[in-house]
C-alpha cells in the first residue's frame, strides 16, 4: 500500500522532574489554556504587551483577573516576544509580596531561571509561564506535572485532527473524530522527555487505517539556537512510534 508522507509541526519536550519545569516547542499559550486541567483564574503579568491588563501599584506588575482572561486567551501573544506570567489566588496576597519576592519574580522573567522555589506560598501559584517566542520556545513550571500531560495530549490531538481533515474540501464531507490520547500512555515517554524528545509530526506517515508518529532523541541543534531561527527541529534517531488507529479510534505505542 502506498504511504503518504505528511508535513506537520513537530512537538519538542524536555522535562525536568526535579523542579517540575518543561521546555516545549510546538505548544502555544492557547493550547495551554484550552487543555490544562485547572486553568489559572488570575495571572500576574511579568512581561507582556496585553493592553487590557490592570496595574498593581504594590509590585508595579500588571495583572489579568478571571474577567479579563478570555480576552488574554485570544490575544496575539505569539507577537509579544517576551510573554511571562505567574498565576495567583488573590490580589490581596499579591499586595503582601516582599521586595525580595518581587525581585525573584523579575529575575525569573528576565533569565528564565528560578532563584528559589518558583511556587510561592502567598501566590498559591500552580504555574510559571515563560516564553520569548510563544509556541517556538516555552518554559513552564507545573506544580503538578499531570497538568502538563493534559496539555501535551491536546497538542497531539490537534495535530492529528489537522492530518485527518486536511483533505476535506467540501462542507458535506465528514470530519473524522479523533479520540483523546490517554495520559497514562503519554507517561510512557517520561524517560525520553527527561532527555529531550521530539514528537515528529514533520516525519509522520499516514496509511489508510493509521498514522505513525516517530519519537526522536538527540536534538541536532540547541534549543536556544532554534529560538533564533525558523528551522525545523531535527533529531538524531527514532526510539519509538506513537500510533493512532483511525479504524478502531485507539492509540498505542511501539518501540523502535
Domain boundaries, given as residue ranges, for the chain: 4-11+147-255, 39-125
pLDDT of residue 23: 93
Q: Is 194 left (phi over 0), alpha (psi -120 to 50) or beta?
A: alpha
The overall average pLDDT reported for the chain is: 87
Q: Is the per-residue pLDDT at 54 higher than 60?
A: yes
- Which has more pLDDT, 151 or 2? 151
- Which has more pLDDT, 233 or 84? 84
Name the band, by pLDDT with cuts 50, 70 and 90, for residue 174.
low
162: Cα separation from own chain's centroid: 18
Q: Is the per-residue pLDDT at 1 higher than 50?
A: no
Grid cell digits, residue 40: 489559572
pLDDT of residue 104: 97
- Which has more pLDDT, 210 or 104? 104
- CB contact at 8 A, 24 and 224: no
pLDDT of residue 206: 87
Note the pLDDT tens digit of each residue in 73-114.
888 888 888 999 999 999 999 999 999 999 999 999 999 999
Residue indicated by cell numbers 528564565: 112
Residue indicated by cell numbers 508535513: 7
Interatomic CA distance for residues 202 and 198, integer angstroms = 10
Q: What is this structure's pTM?
A: 0.89
Q: Which residues pair with 128 in a beta bridge?
A: 86, 141
Grid cell digits, residue 67: 474577567
φ, ψ for residue 188 (rounded to 5)?
-65, -20
Q: Is the per-residue pLDDT at 5 higher than 70?
A: no
Note the pLDDT tens digit of each residue in 135-171.
888 999 999 999 999 999 999 999 888 877 755 444 5
Average pLDDT, integer, range 16-24: 92
Grid cell digits, residue 123: 501566590
> Residue 200: is it exposed, middle or buried by C-beta count within 10 angstroms (0-12/13-18/19+)?
buried
- CB contact at 8 A, 105 and 45: no
Amino acid at each position: 500500500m502506498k504511504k503518504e508522507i505528511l508535513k506537520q509541526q513537530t512537538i519538542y519536550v524536555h522535562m525536568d522532574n526535579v523542579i517540575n519545569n518543561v521546555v516545549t516547542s510546538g505548544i502555544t499559550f492557547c493550547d495551554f489554556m484550552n487543555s490544562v486541567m485547572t486553568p489559572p483564574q488570575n495571572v500576574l503579568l511579568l512581561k507582556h504587551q496585553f493592553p487590557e491588563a490592570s496595574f498593581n501599584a504594590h509590585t508595579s506588575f500588571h495583572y489579568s483577573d478571571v474577567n479579563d482572561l478570555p480576552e488574554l486567551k485570544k490575544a496575539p501573544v505569539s507577537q509579544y516576544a517576551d510573554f511571562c506570567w505567574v498565576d495567583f489566588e488573590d490580589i490581596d496576597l499579591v499586595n503582601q509580596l516582599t521586595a525580595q519576592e518581587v525581585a525573584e519574580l523579575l529575575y525569573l522573567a528576565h533569565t528564565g531561571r528560578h532563584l528559589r522555589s518558583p511556587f510561592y506560598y502567598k501566590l498559591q501559584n500552580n504555574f510559571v509561564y515563560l516564553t520569548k517566542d510563544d509556541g517556538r520556545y516555552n518554559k513552564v513550571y507545573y506544580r503538578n506535572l499531570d497538568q502538563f500531560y493534559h496539555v501535551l495530549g491536546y497538542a497531539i490531538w490537534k495535530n492529528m485532527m489537522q492530518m485527518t481533515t486536511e483533505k476535506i474540501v467540501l462542507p458535506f464531507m465528514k470530519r473524522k473524530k479523533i479520540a483523546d490520547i490517554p495520559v497514562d500512555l503519554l507517561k510512557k515517554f517520561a524517560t525520553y522527555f527527561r532527555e529531550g524528545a521530539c514528537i515528529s509530526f514533520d516525519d509522520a506517515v499516514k496509511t489508510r487505517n493509521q498514522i505513525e508518529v516517530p519519537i526522536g532523541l538527540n536534538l541536532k541543534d540547541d534549543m536556544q539556537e532554534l529560538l533564533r531561527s525558523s528551522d525545523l527541529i531535527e533529531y538524531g534517531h527514532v526510539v519509538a512510534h506513537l500510533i493512532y488507529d483511525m479504524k478502531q479510534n485507539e492509540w498505542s505505542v511501539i518501540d523502535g
